[in-house]
């Protein structure tokens, strides 16, 4: 039986892990610590045929924001069991396509929260003091020493659109500087400190001296800020966007700055971004000295990248080792303790009537006792984990589970 177990269990050292876009070495170290030694790291993104060719033999892939795992790419990922987005967002992955292939997607919603919040606060101070413009002219040899359009942030109103992990952190830091915090979120949120909830986006725009955006990329947030919304903002106010490039219409923003309705802006994300550092960057806002343009670096601090690497790697290893899907963005979530002395079967299937009955028959036909069973479903898939007291017939059982017509993926952990 021990020999059969060794032959059936897929050795960790043969599980291929591919990490793209210069993911921090903490991820490599974490995988190796837990026995996943077959790790390949590339400092750049992969696209089109290069990505398709590479993903064919990969079991786990880790990406950041520049690699796009589309439905077409995922068609070739025959061996892929998990995806790690070493970032907050997951919009670079076709989440539904991954789900229907039985592939959970994990991300890091918390690890770079502080880094983004600190950037926002620093941009608040720089913008309201007129630092970008003074810096611009100083580089040209002009001495612009004046207090005009230079203010303290203390006592000013900051409006936070999206009161999630980052937005709430900005709220805490802003209030500690003496700012009056207003926020708007489509979901009911608990106000931190003295922050006040606005009943609408329009209300927030009208009361704020500085507006900062912290929303995901969805159909609701696409072009959330256009000419109409910018005109609602106070004359002489400021806009900061460190969320997603599709949220703000940059042409409308350029017009608002050109006609001096806004005193400045800080933009970290763009509708189209260069693939690599060597590519040209073109933006309609480049001509304005009172606009801060940064290359999508909100979460690009050493601390954030270290934390992200650990957070996502831990989730990927947990899923591979014990089947836990806690933290998956596209998958039903099941929290599990490690499998100590049982035989654990993982079965991902299309959510159709009668599947669980077929799965149960595989075990009852052998008179095997099910020690524990965990099931979660959504409209598309079901994910069931079954612990068996006996360690007999794993090869035959797995074969029968895979033969069930609704099966997407099946594994056994011994």
Helix axes 302-322, 25-33, angle to 10 degrees: 30
**Active-site residue among 64, 244, 344, 411?**
244
Whether 244 is catalytic is yes
**Active-site residue among 203, 217, 273, 306?**
273
Whether 219 is catalytic is no
**Active-site residue among 44, 66, 129, 296?**
296
Burial 16-32 (b: 16+ CB within 10 A, else e): bbbbbbebbebbbebbe
Burial 301-325 (b: 16+ CB within 10 A, else e): beebbebbbbbbbbbbbbbbbbbbb
Active site residues: 244, 273, 296
């Amino acid at each position: 039986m021990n020999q059969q177990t060794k032959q059936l269990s897929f050795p960790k050292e043969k599980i291929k892990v591919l990490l793209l876009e210069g993911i921090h070495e903490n991820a490599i170290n974490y995988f190796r610590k837990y026995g996943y030694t077959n790790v390949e790291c590339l400092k750049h993104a992969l696209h089109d045929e290069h990505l398709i060719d590479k993903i064919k033999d990969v079991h786990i892939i880790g990406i950041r924001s520049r690699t796009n795992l589309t439905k077409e790419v995922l068609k070739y990922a025959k061996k892929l069991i998990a995806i790690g987005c070493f970032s907050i967002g997951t919009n670079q992955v076709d989440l539904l396509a991954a789900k229907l292939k039985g592939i959970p997607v994990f991300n890091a919603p918390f690890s770079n929260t502080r880094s983004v919040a600190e950037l926002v606060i620093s941009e608040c101070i720089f913008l309201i003091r007129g630092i970008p413009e003074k810096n611009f002219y100083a580089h040209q040899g002009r001495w612009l020493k004046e207090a005009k359009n230079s203010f303290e942030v203390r006592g000013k109103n900051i409006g936070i659109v999206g009161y999630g992990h980052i937005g709430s952190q900005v709220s805490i830091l802003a209030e500690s500087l003496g700012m009056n915090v207003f926020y708007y979120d489509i979901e009911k949120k608990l106000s931190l400190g003295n922050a006040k909830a606005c009943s609408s986006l329009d209300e927030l725009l009208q009361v704020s001296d500085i507006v900062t955006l912290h929303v995901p990329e969805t159909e609701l947030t696409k072009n959330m800020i256009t000419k109409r919304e910018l005109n609602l903002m106070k004359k002489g106010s400021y806009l900061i966007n460190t969320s997603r490039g599709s949220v703000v219409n940059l042409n409308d923003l350029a017009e608002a700055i050109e006609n001096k309705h806004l005193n400045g802006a800080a933009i970290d994300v763009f509708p189209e971004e260069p693939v690599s550092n060597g590519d040209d960057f073109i933006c309609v806002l480049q001509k304005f000295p009172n606009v801060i343009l940064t290359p999508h670096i909100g979460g690009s601090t050493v601390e954030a990248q270290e934390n992200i690497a650990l957070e996502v790697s831990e989730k990927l290893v947990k899923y591979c080792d014990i089947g836990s899907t806690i933290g998956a963005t596209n998958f039903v979530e099941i929290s599990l303790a490690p499998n100590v002395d049982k035989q654990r079967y993982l079965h991902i299937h299309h959510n159709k009537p009668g599947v669980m009955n077929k799965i149960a028959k595989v075990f009852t036909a052998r008179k095997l006792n099910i020690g524990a069973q965990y099931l979660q479903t959504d409209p598309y898939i079901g994910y069931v984990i079954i612990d068996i007291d006996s360690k007999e017939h794993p090869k035959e059982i797995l074969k029968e589970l895979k033969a069930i017509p609704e099966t997407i993926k099946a594994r056994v952990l011994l």
